[in-house]
Amino acid sequence: MKPAFNQIGIVGLGLIGGSLSAQIKAKFPTTKVFAQDSHESALEFAKKKRWIDAGVTTLSKLPKKLDLVIVATPMHAINKTVNALAAHLESPCVITDVGSVKTPFVKAKHKLRAGQVFIGGHPMAGSEKSGVENASVRLFDKASYLLCPVKSKGYLEFKQFLAALDFYVVELDAETHDRLLALASHLPYFMAMLSVQTVKAALKPSERKLFAKIIAGGFRDTTRVASASPLWAKDIAELNKKSVVKALKLSEKKMGDLLKLIEKANSTSIASLLKSGKQFRDSLYA
């Protein structure tokens, strides 16, 4: 299959940007991929991996004729980056982001020129590790890619391009995306972080080394995402505030309900609650 996009730009060569460039090159080796990142070392790493054809440290040095540009910067910089790209690039061009919040970007009044289109996107894969050195062509194996639809030829071409990269494309509006992602991704992060902070507060300084020796898979697995980038989490708290607050307040209520059952030693209700939770969780992965 011949790709619709022959000249592609990646802005922000971290875990996601690096993995996307690796996947694009693996699937379409003749497609030219140009990256922009402020860190020269990230560009050199990607070039050695042959994930990109060339790299620059400033947006103004990117080629003006690009068919597709993927903005993989930290979320607080996305709208500013999109506007800078719109001014720099020639038309036609598709510009898309990979942020895990969508409403602030989809509803922004970007300064797009004729023939340019912005598409809100979000590949559903990641890692608690960051940086291009942790990128991998396998990061997105069997992954979904969430898209906020727009009426344009560029959108249809981008959707087909993602399918050709072996993504399972899911279309949904920005508000639904942000509400569901608050439950699927953002709440798990904050709950994991709260677990870590609780343990940190409960342990005596003299007990920390002992605790590190006795923890096993349960603590590791339930708190893994707490090692994610604090910058990412700060952006989530600010940009998806409404949905995150709602999810945390509901979780607070559920925590209170469980606490009351345990305090009252209501073993029957505790068992019923735990069974219900197990059944629902298992059904999601069936």
* Tokens 């379409």, residue located: 28
Identical fold for domains 7-172 and 176-284, yes or no, is: no
* Helix or strand (DSSP H, E) at 117: strand 116-123
Alpha-carbon Rg for the chain in angstroms: 21
Output the CA torsion sign for 133, 139, 140, 144. Answer: negative
CA distances from 6 to 65, 84, 94, 122, 183 (A): 10, 21, 12, 21, 37
What is residue 243's DSSP assignment? Answer: H
Determine if residue 274 is left, alpha or beta; phi over 0 gives left, psi from -120 to 50 gives alpha, anything else beta: alpha
pLDDT tens digits, the chain, 286 residues: what are they? 677 899 999 999 999 999 999 999 999 999 999 999 999 999 999 999 999 999 999 999 999 999 999 999 999 999 999 999 999 999 899 999 999 999 999 999 999 999 999 999 999 987 777 789 888 888 999 899 999 999 999 999 999 999 999 999 999 999 999 999 999 999 999 999 999 999 999 999 999 999 999 999 999 999 999 999 999 999 999 999 999 999 999 999 999 999 999 999 999 999 999 999 999 999 999 8
Q: Which CATH superfamily is domain 7-172 in?
A: NAD(P)-binding Rossmann-like Domain (3.40.50.720)
Domain boundaries defined on the chain: 7-172, 176-284
Q: Is the bond preceding residue 92 a cis peptide, omega within 30 degrees?
A: yes
3-state secondary structure of 97: strand
What is the CATH code of the structural domain delimited by 176-284? Answer: 1.10.3660.10
Q: What is the amino acid identity at position 162? A: L
Q: How much is the pLDDT for 107?
A: 97
Q: How much is the pLDDT for 4?
A: 82
CA distances from 113 to 82, 209, 264 (A): 11, 58, 64
Both tokens assigned to 10 = 């990646």
- Is residue 190 within 8 Å of 225, Cβ to Cβ? no
- Is residue 68 within 8 Å of 94, Cβ to Cβ? yes
Q: How much is the pLDDT for 131?
A: 86
Q: How much is the pLDDT for 1?
A: 60
Burial 129-162 (b: 16+ CB within 10 A, else e): ebbbeebebebbeebebbbbeeebebbebbbebb
Cα 98 from Cα 71, distance rounded (Å): 7
Q: How much is the pLDDT for 142?
A: 87
Q: How much is the pLDDT for 130?
A: 79
What is residue 181's DSSP assignment? Answer: H
Q: How much is the pLDDT for 108?
A: 97
